[in-house]
């Protein structure tokens, strides 16, 4: 019912499905003092559902009053053991958001597969032993042949089912898989080259990206593996 209501009122289908999916569950927390709300002036009821439904990301609505726009909250981060590691992952998330916008990437994955990925990620040594559902093609055809992505394989030449998904190791998602997937870190490097980011800032960013790349490939231990040993 919620999905049909949104579609009939002109909401984009993907956004409508995202919102409608939240109404399959009841809110985890209800505060007595916020039961009675004017939904024309407050988003508290929706935010109550939205903030308790997502494992890894949250789409945050613009507040009714104020000039803040739409936001996407990344919720997968965990505190690392050092300031350098915390800085590396925080900056990596910012750079990922930039390449999504700059290269018009499509990272949509069905939520059922996101849930399955989360279950796999909780297993011991998942970084090295598990594979995760990820899009086979993260760009449309026009972007695949764009000069912005020159030299990076964005999709296989034999199969152009752009909504298809495959299972990749974290190493393949981050660092790439030959003739199949470019890897998020090479895309970040390509973006930084496009911005002509050189000198000391690039040296520091390269150190952050190397840390994440080596964690994904197994060359460096994860904090969990380090603490278990």
The count of other CB atoms within 10 Å of the CB of residue 71 is 10
- Is-contact 209 198, C-beta < 8 A? no
Residue 95: which residues within 8 A CB-CB, separation 6 or more? 188, 191, 192, 205
Residues 39/53, Cβ–Cβ less than 8 Å: no
Weakest mean pLDDT among 1-5, 24-28, 47-51, 158-162: 158-162
Q: Does residue 181 sit in helix, strand or coil?
A: strand
Q: How much is the pLDDT for 79?
A: 84
Q: DSSP assignment of 100-119, as one string?
A: HHHTT------HHHHHHHHH
Please tell me the distance from the alpha carbon of residue 176 to that of residue 186, in angstroms, as a whole number.
7
pLDDT (0 to 100) of residue 9: 92
Confidence (pTM): 0.79
Q: Taking Cα atoms as reference points, which of 94, 132, 140 lies closest to residue 115?
A: 132
**What average pLDDT does this structure show over 96-111?**
88
Length of the chain: 229
Q: How does residue 157 score in pLDDT terms, banded at 50, 70 and 90?
A: very low
């Amino acid at each position: 019912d919620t999905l049909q209501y949104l579609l009939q009122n002109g909401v984009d289908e993907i956004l409508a499905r995202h919102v409608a999916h939240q109404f399959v569950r009841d809110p985890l927390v209800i505060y007595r003092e916020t039961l009675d709300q004017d939904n024309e002036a407050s988003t508290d009821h929706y935010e109550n559902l939205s903030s308790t439904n997502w494992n890894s990301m949250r789409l945050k609505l613009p507040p009714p009053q104020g000039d803040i726009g739409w936001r996407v909250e990344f919720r997968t981060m965990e505190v690392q053991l050092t300031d350098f590691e915390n800085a590396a992952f925080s900056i990596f998330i910012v750079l990922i958001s930039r390449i999504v916008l700059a290269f018009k990437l499509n990272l949509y994955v069905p939520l059922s597969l996101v849930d399955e990925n989360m279950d796999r990620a909780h297993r011991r040594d998942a970084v090295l032993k598990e594979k995760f559902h990820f899009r086979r093609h993260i760009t449309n055809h026009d972007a695949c042949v764009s000069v912005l992505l020159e030299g990076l394989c964005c999709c296989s030449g034999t199969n152009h089912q752009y909504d298809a998904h495959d299972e990749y190791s974290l190493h393949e998602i981050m660092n790439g898989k030959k003739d199949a997937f470019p890897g998020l870190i090479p895309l970040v490097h390509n973006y930084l080259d496009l911005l002509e980011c050189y000198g000391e800032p690039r040296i520091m960013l390269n150190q952050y990206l190397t840390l994440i790349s080596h964690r994904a490939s197994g060359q460096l231990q994860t904090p969990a593996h380090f603490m278990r040993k």
